[in-house]
Amino acid sequence: MKKLISGSAPFIHHEDSTRSIMADVIIALTPAAVWGVYAFGLRALVILLMGIFSSVLFEFLIGLCLKKPLICTDLSAVVTGLILALTMPVAVPLYLVPLGAFVATVVGKGAFGGLGRNYVNPALLGRGVLCLAFSGSMTFFLEPFTSPSALSLTLSRAAWVEHTMTQSLTERMREGVMPEEIRYTDLLTGSVAGGIGEVSALVLLAGLMYLLVRRVITWHTPVFFVGTLAALALLFPYGVVARVDFMLASLLTGGLLFGAIFLANDPVTSPVTTGGKILYGILCGALLYLFRYFFGDAFGATFAILLANLPARLLDRLFFPRAYGTRRQGLVHLVERIRGFVIPLWKRVEEKLRTKA
Binding site for other proteins (CB under 8 A): 1-14, 16-18, 20-21, 74, 76, 114-117, 267-268, 272-273, 320-326, 329, 333
Q: Which is nearer to other proteins, 10 or 136 (CB)?
A: 10
CB of 300 to other proteins, least distance (A): 26
3-state DSSP assignment of residue 164: strand
Q: Which is nearer to other proteins, 253 or 309 (CB)?
A: 309
Q: What are phi and psi of 146, to 5 degrees?
A: -115, 0
Q: Which is nearer to other proteins, 326 or 355 (CB)?
A: 326
CB of 88 to other proteins, least distance (A): 25
Is the separation of the CB atoms in 207 and 29 below 8 Å? Answer: yes
Rg, C-alpha atoms of the chain = 23
Residue 72 per-residue DSSP state: G
CB of 98 to other proteins, least distance (A): 25
CB of 12 to other proteins, least distance (A): 5
- For residue 288, the Cα-to-chain-centroid distance in whole angstroms is 12
Instruction: Name 164's bridge partners.
Output: 142
On the 0-12 / 13-18 / 19+ scale of CB atoms within 10 A, 347 is exposed
CB of 114 to other proteins, least distance (A): 6
Q: Which is nearer to other proteins, 74 or 143 (CB)?
A: 74
Q: Which is nearer to other proteins, 18 or 185 (CB)?
A: 18
Q: Which is nearer to other proteins, 3 or 67 (CB)?
A: 3
CB of 177 to other proteins, least distance (A): 44
- The CA–CA distances, whole Å, from 273 to 220, 221, 315, 319, 320 equal 10, 11, 8, 6, 7
Is the separation of the CB atoms in 289 and 229 below 8 Å? Answer: yes
List the alpha helices (DSSP H) in the chain: 18-40, 42-65, 76-86, 96-102, 122-133, 135-138, 169-174, 184-189, 201-213, 220-235, 243-252, 256-258, 274-295, 300-309, 312-318, 330-356
CB of 261 to other proteins, least distance (A): 16
Q: Which is nearer to other proteins, 116 or 344 (CB)?
A: 116
